[in-house]
Amino acid sequence: MIAVLGMVIFASTKMLAADTKSARVMRDRMFAKRYAEMGLEVGRHPQIELYDPLLNYGDDSGSYTVRLTTEEARFNINRLLLQSDGAILRRIFTYWGMKPDASARMVDALKDWVDADDLTSLNGAEKRDYEKMGFKGLPYNRPFKDLDEMLLVRGMEALNVMRPDWREWFTVYGDGRIDINEARPDFISVLAEVPMERLTPLLKYRNGRDGAPHTMDDMKLASAVQVAQMLGVFQPKIVQELQQWVQFQGPIRRIESVGSFNSMQRKLLLVTQNNQTLWRGEVPVQ
Ligand SMILES: [Ca+2]
Ligand SMILES: [Ca+2]
């Protein structure tokens, strides 16, 4: 099927051979997206395995690379705000280089946005504060339905400039527990309050004998105690936090497909649960 699709793309490319530069850019964008779409279709197949060779494909004109992971590999922003004292979120912002008062201000503003009341937290922002800034109808006073809603929160514009990849850290899906088998090392470092170098035993274990992530020999972490031991954390507070905030196989699939054509790259994302689409769209290539 893929070979046939590839030939179709190649043939249409030839027809467009003699055109202007802007038309070439448009064409490259279109074909890069088409390759990404091909990848997404392969990646969403229920029988596809994490390490399936079909997840990478290339021919003379273009290619796609698919990454399968779980949505729970990210921090659920709503749960962090509504089911904790905000400590983990403050740690994330501090890790990004924000000063303690700025990160407390950001956490409080986010918290006020999602909590139902109009009572301004110590460093937060509620209706009155947004009205003073000239905004009516804010905050929504409900959990974020989409990450982009976060951009409406006071202070997020500046954070978006400082940390353009902030979306990579968060999700609005899942029960809030981080899939420790899929989470990025820096996420684990922030979650468990350990420096990156302390992660080596855990990552070694997770990667299996070949030392590479997402291959057939990967090992699965299976308990919070095991995670705590591997990270060398014994403070009861952190162990308890791990027990509360960690899981080992998130049920929500995240399929990321990057299509390339000439120098153009486009990335499509599909989030599914029980084969139902939760989110589908294009995201920036990081
Ligand atoms: Ca509120
Ligand atoms: Ca491996």
Distance 169 CA to ligand 1 centre (A): 23
State the pLDDT at residue 238.
85
Distance 116 CA to ligand 1 centre (A): 5
Distance 284 CA to ligand 2 centre (A): 27
Distance 218 CA to ligand 1 centre (A): 43
Q: How many residues does the chain have?
A: 286
Q: CA torsion 222→224→227→229, rounded to 10°?
A: -120
Question: What percent of the chain is modeled with pLDDT above 70?
Answer: 93
Alpha carbons 229 and 14: distance in angstroms, whole number: 58
Q: Which ligand lies nearest to the CA atom of residue 207 in the structure?
A: 2
Any idea which architecture 75-168 has in CATH?
A: Orthogonal Bundle (1.10)
Distance 187 CA to ligand 1 centre (A): 27
State the pLDDT at residue 21.
86
Dump pLDDT digits (tens) for 268-284.
999 999 989 999 999 98
Mode of pairing for the β-strands spanning 170-171 and 276-283: unpaired
Give the mean pLDDT of 208-213. Answer: 95
Dump pLDDT digits (tens) for 156-187.
999 999 999 999 999 999 999 999 999 999 99
Q: Which ligand lies nearest to the CA atom of residue 209 in the structure?
A: 2
Distance 227 CA to ligand 2 centre (A): 18
Distance 142 CA to ligand 1 centre (A): 8
Task: Return the residue matching tokens 């070439």.
Answer: 24
Dump pLDDT digits (tens) for 64-123.
999 999 999 999 999 999 988 899 999 999 999 999 999 999 999 999 999 999 999 999
Residue 8 has pLDDT above 80, yes or no: no
What lies within 8 Å, CB to CB, of 114 at 6+ separation is 78, 81, 82, 139, 140, 141, 142, 143, 144
Residue 10 has pLDDT above 80, yes or no: no
Q: Which ligand lies nearest to the CA atom of residue 124 in the structure?
A: 1
Residues paired with residue 253 on neighbouring β-strands, in sequence order: 70, 272
Alpha carbons 159 and 108: distance in angstroms, whole number: 14
Distance 280 CA to ligand 2 centre (A): 29
Domain spans in the chain, listed from the N-terminal domain onward: 2-71+256-283, 75-168, 175-247
Q: Residue 268 is encoded by which pair of tokens?
A: 């499509």
Distance 103 CA to ligand 1 centre (A): 18
Distance 206 CA to ligand 2 centre (A): 7
Question: Which phi and psi (to 5°) does residue 5 adopt?
Answer: -55, -40
Distance 59 CA to ligand 1 centre (A): 52
Concatenating the DSSP letter of every residue in 21-62 gives HHHHHHHHHHHHHHHHHHHHHHHT-TT--TT-GGGEEE-SSE
Task: Return the residue matching tokens 């000439």.
Answer: 262
Check if the beta carbon of residue 277 is closer than 8 Å to that of residue 47: no
State the pLDDT at residue 145.
97
Going by the DSSP 8-state scheme, the letter that residue 197 receives in this structure is G
Dump pLDDT digits (tens) for 47-63.
898 889 999 999 998 99
Q: How wide is the angle at C-alpha 74 spanned by C-alphas 162 and 198, nearest 5°?
A: 85
